[in-house]
Structure 1
Amino acid sequence: MDSSVFLASIFVFGGTFALTVLFLSELVTMLIDRKTTWWKHLVNFSIYTLMISGASSVYYLLGGQLGQFDSSRTHVYFLSLTVYFCINVLLIGFYFLLLHKGKQFEIIKSFFRDSLFAYLSTLLLSIVLVVLVTNNRYFGLFLFLAIACLLSHAFRRLFLMYNELSEKANKDHRTGLFSHSYFEEKLEEAIREYRDQERSFSLALLDLDDFKKYNDAFGHPQGDKLLSFFGKLIKTECESRQLLAARYGGEEFAVIMPEYSKAKAFAFMNELRKKVNDTPFDGVEVFPHGCISFSAGIYEVSKDNYYKSQLVDLADRALSMAKEKGKNTVMIYGEQNQLPQSIEKEIHDLGQQLKIFLSKDVYTFKHSKRVYSYAVDMAEVLELSDDDRRLLILGALIHDIGKLEIPRDVLNKKSKLTADEWEMVKKHVLWGKEIVLATGKYKDLVPLVELHHERYDGNGYPYGLKNEEIPRLARMLCIIDSFDAMTTERPYQVTKTLEEAIEELNRFAGKQFDPELVVPFIQYIQTKMTTGLKRELEGSEEAI
């Protein structure tokens, strides 16, 4: 409607008058719409100034007459509109190019296609206004403005109604996130942009850990409140980064991250995981970690896999791997290393024994699975022999087996342990040694089970060994075990970020940790944070 008035002002009174109308209009708009920042008003005013100047120049050059409508010179009006329209498309297209990036030609083509009909309507309305003003002066102007206001109000009502209906269809009312169907639509759009514009992106699937346990404990109404709370957390973090978050179904969520590499996506998801861990909510004591947590799987689109079903499936496989690893963790598809087939059966057998923890201490079960996963990677980083690789991986898997001898109320105690209770906990390494020796088959794992709490400076337990007195693999396991404990939530203990945990490793290198082994482990974690591990997923954790 405003463009119709500006064009009519050019045709009847000239370009200078049209610019005066623009200035007064923008001044009133600034006074009414104070929420919009001043520079946006300035940009809008500048664009309209260029459009009006261009259209009026063409109108004068082609011999357009002011103050009257000449039906024999329709082409003059049309060409003036064309210039007005083209300047608008180029400038708005350039603005969106700076704002959203992408290929300028594609943006301009899309904007041209979408706005062409609107501008043809604008030309007709401006000619109607010219006829009314030239024949009926003030009454004609009043009549046009009255009709324009009524139409604008009607269009606004329809627009708001459409937006409301569209929002209901596109939003999940429980969480405020986008719906599953809208997510699929946007995923297809992201895939098209990847194909046409080479705009990369990563996809993440998130699953709220142990949600059924919370629902069973407090009922579905409280469970719905948790879903809503979790959804709002995700929405806040994603919207500030222009990421699209949706509820995928039940307690599962999805995030599309444009221009995010898998390493950047991994860093964001870990940051989000920590924020979720550290955010209080009623009833979180029923969770194994004593806090809200989620598992996440990430896949970065590639030339080999860019179909919707493939992307979702690969992200879901990474999510399953995160759950297998012990939950409250983030995994990138293709990150896990391949294990020798010779030890897969042993891993499976020990994994079955480890499940005894599920009924007594879920945290220890999940912690052991994560430590095992780190050990798989570090065995390759350190280029261990087959025998040492087996020892580190199997030892990591059952290093805390002795905790089965600790009473349940001590294991799950949320307040500070007494001196006697702490002495009991420290004995788990000796009880673990006895359990392993009783089996006979895995007695070569005893040094890792018994000595993974010895410190490099001699202040550890059970024997106070130091430096080279501690077997090398036990020193490596001490680093892995401590790192996982630092970065995973426990009751009344706030997690550290990956960066904070790395600082802690550096601080205690030469004291608690072997200074030489700390270096490759930190490099491994930093590589994981910045570039992601590039080996293909072989499904080794599924053997557990």
Structure 2
Amino acid sequence: MRLLKSLHQHITPTGIYAVVICLAGAAIFGYTNKGSFLQYSSLEWVTVYSMLGAVLILEYFTFQLPPASNKQSMDSSVYLACIFVHGSEIAIFILLLTSVIAAIRDYKLSWWKHFINFSIYALSIFSAASVFQWVGGSQGPLNDGYIAAYVLSMLSYFAVNTFTLGLYFYLAYEGSLKQLRRAFVAESLLVYLCTLILSLVLTVLIYHNGILGLVLFLGLSMLLSHAFKKLFDMFRDVEEKSIMDRRTGLYNHSYFENSLESELRTARKDKLPLSLALIDIDDFKKFNDQFGHLKGDQLLGFLGNLLKKETEKTSITASRYGGEEFTLLMPGYSAEQAYEVVNRIRKKLNDSHYEGVEIFPHGCLSFSAGISEYQAGIYDKSQLVDQADKALYYAKRQGKNAVHLSGSYNETEREIDLAQDIRDIEQQLTLFLYKDINAFKHSKRVFKYAMDISEVLGLGQEDKRGFVLGALIHDIGKLEIPWDIMNKKEKLTPEEWRLVKGHVTWGRRIVEANERFEELIPFIELHHERYDGTGYPYGFAGDEIPRLCRMLTIIDSFDAMTTERPYQRTKTFEQALNELRACSGTQFDPELTRIFIRYIKDSHLSSPYIRSLQ
């Protein structure tokens, strides 16, 4: 039983596929050769050795094509030409000798990988030879009458080689079919086209000119391989220049943005930690004013080199964000681990001698840094950057030369900042007083609900701040809706309803103009998303909607149903709770709906505020 369990654990789709391919390769060699190489004539051995030399030379002249880095060579043209002139028997025998030499040369690579490679190419050669004969082709000189046979044979070789090799990598590395198609079809097509045409050229040369023809072919192939290699080097050079910052030698802002988006997707999908550090050189303007911009650029380069050196053997990506700001994108690092790394770099910078440091307040080079960590509910890269930026701002306020984690603020300062933020947002909401006083009162009530629910959910101070401020400002975009639509008593037309739905987008734009409240954008933009994915503006569903945004949707809807407005029917609390239950799982998150209903039942009799709403 234990043996069977052990075998079951070691049997994988990759292993089964490898065994099948290897058995097929061995069977093909046995079928095509049958030991006939023991009776080869001297001329046949000359052919084998010359063809073998050609394959080895072309394998040496491998190259890469942009944009991927898959290695390519033109050795397949030798095997195809051998099929057309001498048949599959000699072609597969040459392949066997090549594989043996490769196994001796690359002895550190597992023998079964060499066997798989041999088997895949044996299948390709055998299929190409079979198709060639089946269509009516025969070995010998290039014949105009066999054009269809040549073309179909080459297509067969390409198809079998691409499919078998690609399928192995798909199973072994758990890729996607889209990646498979891109890597082994689209990006190899040009090389295979050249290879197949060259195989016809080689057929003519070796039949009519023998060894001399083979030498000429090798010269042409090596030149083409060299040209492809130069093309790839040029591509990599241009690509590197497009993603690198010349002053610091680090990646530039565009590369950072793309990397952040990619790493966020990975962290969200695989539930892995991801941290971002935003670094700003302290008093850089003072250094620039004192020594000039040229010296300032040299200082940027100095810090860039330090960041590169300290992160080169890690998964961390160091980039220049802009000006004197830098980023460290840290996949696999928790906030605490990121803090240790960044603080160590900060101390090393403090201890680094640099000309002119005497003008700095600390008497040394220093930077301030803010660190944020990806949390469930972050759906946009700007949120992570904004959190790191706020932490950086806090580090600056504490006297600079410090590293600060997002969310770890002094409690008294939090309360003072929250009170000030509430006053500032209420100041903006007073614009509703002339346009729709009900919208103003609705925002205030939703805010008070959010204050209570924050305690029910046991939110931390940072989450509480975002939730209550988001509840207060969530309808700010309605300021852009025309007065007559906001106060219309009749049913809205489709065009008017489209304008009303646009308030979430307008709200985002209003807040983006004031960077101070950018972290509240999810509450503004997503409070009309539905749990089943039928909401707007994005049609997010389930956990795609941040948890506190899902709760805001419940609060917002409940208040809208129970608010007394002229000429409109108002639901009682019980009727509204029944509506929440009915829409649980479709419009609302079921778990959060239960929590909110329990909160209303527990508090509506004892709370003077809620009692006044009935």
TM range (shorter): 0.5 to 0.7
Cα distance in 2 for partners of 1:43, 1:218 equals 64
Cα distance in 2 for partners of 1:61, 1:323 equals 74
Match of 1:476 in 2: none
Deviation at 1:248, TM superposition (A): 0.9
> Are the counterparts in 2 of residues 67 and 134 from structure 1 also a CA contact under 8 Å?
no
- What secondary structure does 1:245 align onto? strand
Cα distance in 2 for partners of 1:40, 1:271 equals 39
1:27-48 deviations in Å (ceiling 9; x for gaps): 9xx8xxxxxx985899997775
Change (3 A) 1:126 1:94: farther
> Are the counterparts in 2 of residues 285 and 291 from structure 1 also a CA contact under 8 Å?
yes
- What secondary structure does 1:326 align onto? coil
Change (3 A) 1:239 1:342: closer
Cα distance in 2 for partners of 1:341, 1:155 equals 60
Give, as a single letter, the amino acid of the residue that structure 1 aligns with 2:373: E
> Are the counterparts in 2 of residues 215 and 223 from structure 1 also a CA contact under 8 Å?
yes
Cα distance in 1 for partners of 2:259, 2:203 equals 46
> Are the counterparts in 2 of residues 50 and 87 from structure 1 also a CA contact under 8 Å?
no
Unaligned runs of 5+ in 2: 1-57, 60-72, 83-89, 421-614
Tell me which of 195, 204, 210 is aligned to 1:132. Answer: 204
Match of 2:75 in 1: 5
Note if 1:244 corresponds to 2:321: no
Match of 2:157 in 1: 80
> Are the counterparts in 1 of residues 103 and 109 from structure 2 also a CA contact under 8 Å?
no
RMSD: 3.9
- What secondary structure does 1:339 align onto? helix
Match of 2:584 in 1: none
Change (3 A) 1:333 1:94: farther
Match of 2:282 in 1: 209
> Are the counterparts in 2 of residues 6 and 18 from structure 1 also a CA contact under 8 Å?
no
1:34-85 deviations in Å (ceiling 9; x for gaps): xxx9858999977754543443454567676766665454444433333322
Correspondence 1:502-517 to 2 at 5 A = none
Match of 2:124 in 1: 55
Change (3 A) 1:175 1:46: farther
Cα distance in 1 for partners of 2:196, 2:236 equals 27
Match of 1:190 in 2: 263
Match of 2:330 in 1: 257
> Are the counterparts in 2 of residues 51 and 88 from structure 1 also a CA contact under 8 Å?
yes
Note if 1:313 corresponds to 2:383: no
Match of 2:95 in 1: 18
> Are the counterparts in 1 of residues 202 and 217 from structure 2 also a CA contact under 8 Å?
no
Correspondence 1:5-404 to 2 at 5 A = 5-9=75-79, 12=82, 13-21=90-98, 48-49=117-118, 51-59=120-128, 71-73=147-149, 74-90=151-167, 97=173, 108=180, 110-112=182-184, 114-118=186-190, 120-121=192-193, 123-125=195-197, 127-136=199-208, 137-194=210-267, 200-339=273-412
Deviation at 1:316, TM superposition (A): 1.1
> Are the counterparts in 2 of residues 244 and 256 from structure 1 also a CA contact under 8 Å?
yes
Deviation at 1:9, TM superposition (A): 2.3
Correspondence 1:391-470 to 2 at 5 A = none
Change (3 A) 1:183 1:344: closer
Change (3 A) 1:106 1:205: farther
> Are the counterparts in 1 of residues 346 and 366 from structure 2 also a CA contact under 8 Å?
yes
1:366-399 deviations in Å (ceiling 9; x for gaps): xxxxxxxxxxxxxxxxxxxxxxxxxxxxxxxxxx
Deviation at 1:228, TM superposition (A): 0.8
Range that drifts further, 67-76 or 284-293: 67-76
> Are the counterparts in 1 of residues 128 and 154 from structure 2 also a CA contact under 8 Å?
yes
Cα distance in 1 for partners of 2:349, 2:167 equals 44
Cα distance in 2 for partners of 1:17, 1:211 equals 66
Relative CO higher for 1 or 2, CA cutoff 8 Å, sep ≥ 6?
1
1:13-32 deviations in Å (ceiling 9; x for gaps): 412313445676899xx8xx
> Are the counterparts in 2 of residues 10 and 56 from structure 1 also a CA contact under 8 Å?
yes
Change (3 A) 1:255 1:341: closer
How many residues were matched structurally? Answer: 334
Correspondence 1:491-502 to 2 at 5 A = none
TM-score under structure 1 length normalisation: 0.52
Give the percent of matched residue pairs that are identical in Structure 1 and Structure 2. Answer: 35
Deviation at 1:341, TM superposition (A): 7.9
Give, as a single letter, the amino acid of the residue that structure 2 aligns with 1:14: A
TM-score under structure 2 length normalisation: 0.47
Change (3 A) 1:78 1:314: same
Larger radius of gyration: 2
1:109-138 deviations in Å (ceiling 9; x for gaps): 553455342454255245334533454333
Give, as a single letter, the amino acid of the residue that structure 2 aligns with 1:282: E
- What secondary structure does 1:4 align onto? coil
Cα distance in 2 for partners of 1:93, 1:158 equals 28
Cα distance in 1 for partners of 2:258, 2:417 equals 41
